[in-house]
Amino acid sequence: MDRPPVPAPADPRAVRLVDGLLAAGTAVAVLAGAARFGGRLDAAGALPLALWLGLLLLARRRWPLVVLLLSVQAVVVLRTSGLTDGGWVWPVSAAYATLAADDRPGRPGLPWAGGVGLAELAFAAAWETTAGGATPREVLISLGAEALWLAVLLASATAYRNHLRWRAELDERLLRAARERDLEADRRFAEARLDIARELHDVVGHTLTVVGIHLRVAAEALHDSPEEARASLTTAQQVRTKAVRDLRALVHVLRAPGEASEDPAAGVCEVAALVDRVRSAELDIRLETAGDLAAIPAPVSFAVHRIVQEALTNTVRHAGASRADVTVRLVGGRVEVHVTDDGRTAAQISGAVGHGVRGMDERVRALGGDFSAGPHGQGDGWLVRAVIPVPGFHP
């Protein structure tokens, strides 16, 4: 992975101000250093060197290596020509620090700054020994301080560069964490939408189906059997009231996330009442239970109720069946649910690809169970089967 770039100030005016101050400060420092260490302050030596080094720094951000090379060249030319007798490294301190701190991809500045500095010191030592007539001791004394200053410059620039890199990596990690939180929030939102769609399908679809059955029965029996018609209308009204409670509970959860619903969700203990509501003169439903169903935990209990509800809804809607069998058993640490009917298989298959069967499958798999729905036996009929583990169950 490429190294993170060194961030530049966001405000261009601030960048120009900093570069201008650094250029002016370098020019003043070169002149002051020459005066402090007994150098010559003349118009042919120190003054043009100070102005040249200062002006070059105005381009240090775009071309740091070029600025350093031209600065070192100016120092070498003026020193070897005898026009100035200032230092070798310290007049170019800003150019060295700028290049060493440059860590942009494909432009490693530190090795270049170190290499140029060593080359300049090596040239200075050779020139002072040969042309200047200095002894090795004098060369070591004069250039030792220069070498130490160069090491301090490179170390400080490296520390600053590493600090910028650490800040860039920290910002990247924070940005990545924020993106991951956004993705997780989107995933949870999608799951919530799926849950809401499934709940609305189960509640509304089941209610409309059952109410439709009893209204049809009431309409057919209205003249011949008023009592039967009245009973069907009463059942339809009860189913409608139950659906309204379920919808209110769902809306309550949506309006106040994390708060408990006023009406508890239907569970496995309400399966018998569910079967009674769906049972009619056209569809005989038999219910068989086994085990201590009250011991089933709430998530599994709710899923069992919804599976039976959706399976019977599909039977009424699609199968044209005359009989259905519902079996709910708690055995061996798991709940087994079987819903079979003797309806038309082809019609059931065409309806099995809808939201209802998919919702049942998602419920069961979310609880770690197995689900299947398909033709039952060799003849007509349809089987919905779900097996859900019960955590902590001890027979």
Position of tokens 């961030």?
7
pLDDT at 38: 52
Residues 108-125 as b/e (b if ≥16 CB within 10 A, e otherwise) read: ebbebbbebbeebbeebb
Residues of the chain with pLDDT under 70: 1-11, 33-45, 105-107, 132-133, 192-193, 196-208, 214, 237, 239-265, 319, 344-355, 377-379, 392-395
At 117, which amino acid appears? Answer: G
- What would the two tokens of residue 156 be? 């400080």
Please state the separation of Cα 358 from the chain's center in Å: 27
Distance CA 217, CA 235 (A): 11
Task: For 156-211, write each residue's pLDDT tens digit.
Answer: 888 888 887 788 888 888 888 888 888 887 787 777 667 766 666 666 666 667 77
pLDDT at 338: 93
Residue 126: CB atoms within 10 Å: 12
Residue 9 contacts residue 109 (beta carbons within 8 Å): no
- Nearest 10 degrees: CA dihedral of 247, 251, 253, 259? -100
pLDDT at 286: 92
Strand partners, 341: 324, 382
With a pLDDT cut of 90, the percent of the chain lying above it is 6
At 183, which amino acid appears? Answer: L
267-395 falls under which CATH superfamily?
Histidine kinase-like ATPase, C-terminal domain (3.30.565.10)
Question: What are the residue boundaries of the structural domains of the chain, listed by start?
Answer: 12-180, 267-395
3-state class of 103 per DSSP?
Answer: coil
Residue 89 contacts residue 116 (beta carbons within 8 Å): no
pLDDT at 33: 67
pLDDT at 353: 47
At 253, which amino acid appears? Answer: V
